[in-house]
Structure 1
Amino acid sequence: FLGLPTDEPWYLPTINREMAHKLLKICVEGTFLIRTSSNGLYALTLVHNGIIYDCRIGRDPTQNYAFRFVASYIDNNGQPTTMNDNSSGYCDRSFYSLKELVDFYTKNSLAENNPELNICLTVPIKMHVNIKI
């Protein structure tokens, strides 16, 4: 992928999903991070309505970034739950870099990709006052 955002306050490439969920569990609504996922792509992990969501970021055929949603979260019983996959695989909107993607969704809701995510990205994980990374 081009344009890796190594100095961005939301980029934590080396943490796994479990650690991301532990960090975000104590965070406020709209807190988010981007990490490398186990399949070598990227994942946006965020807090919305007290639930932690993971959204895969894949590559569209033109090599730009595009969201590929598989929103998973821990339900009230502590069990991992996955919502329905986006049947098309990729969203219509694509971005040249992760920074461009984040910049867009700080001003625009994620609901265009998943109706359950009617939220903008508001607090990068490293800006959260209770998190020391």
Structure 2
Amino acid sequence: MAQVEAAFDERLASQSSELAEPSANRKRLEPESDKLLAAHFADAIDLDTLKRHQDRIGLADIDRRLTNEHGQYEGSRAYLGTALSLLVDCAAMYQWVDDHGKCLANQTFTKGIEITEDYEAALRALTE
């Protein structure tokens, strides 16, 4: 379980390096955005001019991208933790779920059911 989580975190670290550029751009552009806002409050520029320049700077797009990436990681990390905790004791999970859950578990953990010539069923494992 720890190895899977470590691999997930390693992948995030590589993705974080990809997000370093947008983060650096945000840090560089934020003072310009603040100056524009101050100019608007001082009535030096009108609202339309402020909006046009804010759009040109693109901080909103950078913020959306960073927020989206962070949200995807958090959601995926929580999902991974839940999935791994269920896998720790598959037998208990299988007893706990309803018939539909058992069907989903069978589909998840096996390649399928093989019917022999003697009409006996056998599960084909994922490792086969």
TM-score calculated relative to the size of structure 2: 0.21
Task: Compare the two structures and name the one with the higher helix fraction.
Answer: 2
Q: Which has more radius of gyration?
A: 2
Question: Which is bigger in relative contact order (C-alpha 8 A, separation at least 6)?
Answer: 1
TM-score calculated relative to the size of structure 1: 0.20
